[in-house]
Structure 1
Amino acid sequence: MAAEDPSVSGVSGRYATALFELARDEKSVDAVKADLDKFEAMLAGSADLTRLVRSPIFGADVQSKAIAAVLEDAGIGGISAKFLKVLTANRRLFAVRDVIRAFRALVAKFKGEATADVTVAEPLSDKNLDALKTALKSVTGKDVALNVKIDPAIIGGLVVKLGSRMVDSSLRTKLNSIKHAMKEAG
């Protein structure tokens, strides 16, 4: 399965595929995805956790103990916790974000969903997220899972990447277009 999808290749793809196949066999794909989403949100919200995950300075012992504590604190258990501990023991924790991304791609393919990467200047309300999902579903004919990234630098609007297609309606891009048009006219 991993070989068919270029987004799930390499080390992260192999780990994600192994986790996906185990979760599928245990009928816990949604639970594992929810745990990984929670872990990724914790990573995004904690510079210390990101440092622990990415820095080669921390030994396997230190990383293992810290990750075990973090997982217990967050209430992440079962397959997800065991997997993250194996990733840590194998000194591959630095790749956890890529593994999570690859796992999501496998889940989306399994469920017949498409995945869209959406960049917004500030968090979207549930109403706006639902409207965006509905609009993307009308374009693709599939349910669309959203990976939302907040980037205040785009000022406003949004950037949507769905497969090989990208729509950039950010205010930053529009302002840059106006700036270039004014340079050419002047």
Structure 2
Amino acid sequence: MLLSIVRPVASAAATGLGRRAASGIALKYSHAVYNAALSKSPQTLTKVQTELNALSAAIKETPKLNEFVHNPSLSVKDRTAGLEVLYAAGGKKEPISDITKNLFSVLSDNGRLGETVGVIEGFNELVSQYKGELTVVVTSANALPRDTLSRLESTLKQSQAAQQAKTLKITNKVNPSILGGIVVDFGDKTIDLSVASRVTKLNNLLQQSV
């Protein structure tokens, strides 16, 4: 079922998703698994989201699993064995659903396991849109204090995009490479207030003046 959905949604892969979500290739799979789950029921959609987030966490927290999904040279036998280990790590509370397994089988067969994290991020954005949520990702060089996030939330709630959403969800991601300041991603907009961005602009101006 999932495999048959992947190709038709290719042209619509980028529709409605923020810039941070994933590559166009990953978004094809995001749409495919989203459509497959929602066609079953809203409850199935929630179950698949829970599974995918658990698998994503397992990949990020387990170096061997992270290495597994990013190793395109593995044989079919090794990929099959690796997926079983991944399912066991992400499905500790209850068995992984066929929809989720089907997704990973397709990713594996197509040599796209390296896109896993992007696929899950894209899927989560689609679910957020379905639920009327506006997810805001605030990237900073260091974790932001709770009161700073609260002030940001109050400011963002005044935006037109937030007023059209049922709920507003703010996530703080840490990326030391931005040096300082913040980068705010919401909907299809990005507000780059990072030090790295200002340094880049300064360097470009200096190069143009030489």
Calculate the TM-score normalised by the size of structure 1: 0.73
2: CA distance between counterparts of 1:88 and 1:177?
Answer: 38
Kept after mapping to 2: 8 A contact 1:133/1:146: yes
Kept after mapping to 2: 8 A contact 1:64/1:85: no
1: CA distance between counterparts of 2:134 and 2:113?
Answer: 27
Q: 2:50 aligns with which of 34, 38, 53?
A: 34
Q: 2:120 aligns with which of 100, 123, 126?
A: 100
Q: CA RMSD in A?
A: 3.6
Distance of aligned partners of 1:180 and 1:89 in 2 relative to their CA distance in 1, 3 Å threshold: closer
Which residue in 1 is equivalent to 2:168?
144
Which residue in 2 is equivalent to 1:75?
91
Amino-acid identity (%): 24
Q: For 1:57, what is the secondary structure of its paired residue?
A: coil
Kept after mapping to 2: 8 A contact 1:116/1:147: yes
* Matches for 1:4-19 after TM superposition, within 5 Å: 5=15, 7=17, 11-19=25-33
- What are the ranges of 5 or more consecutive residues in structure 2 without an aligned counterpart? 1-7
Kept after mapping to 2: 8 A contact 1:108/1:145: no
Q: For 2:158, what is the secondary structure of its paired residue?
A: helix
2: CA distance between counterparts of 1:131 and 1:38?
Answer: 30
Kept after mapping to 1: 8 A contact 2:181/2:195: yes
Which residue in 1 is equivalent to 2:68?
52
Pick 1 or 2: higher relative contact order, CA cutoff 8 A, min separation 6. Answer: 2
TM-superposed deviation, 1:145:
4.0
* Matches for 1:141-180 after TM superposition, within 5 Å: 141=163, 142=165, 143-146=167-170, 148-173=172-197
- What are the ranges of 5 or more consecutive residues in structure 1 without an aligned counterpart? none
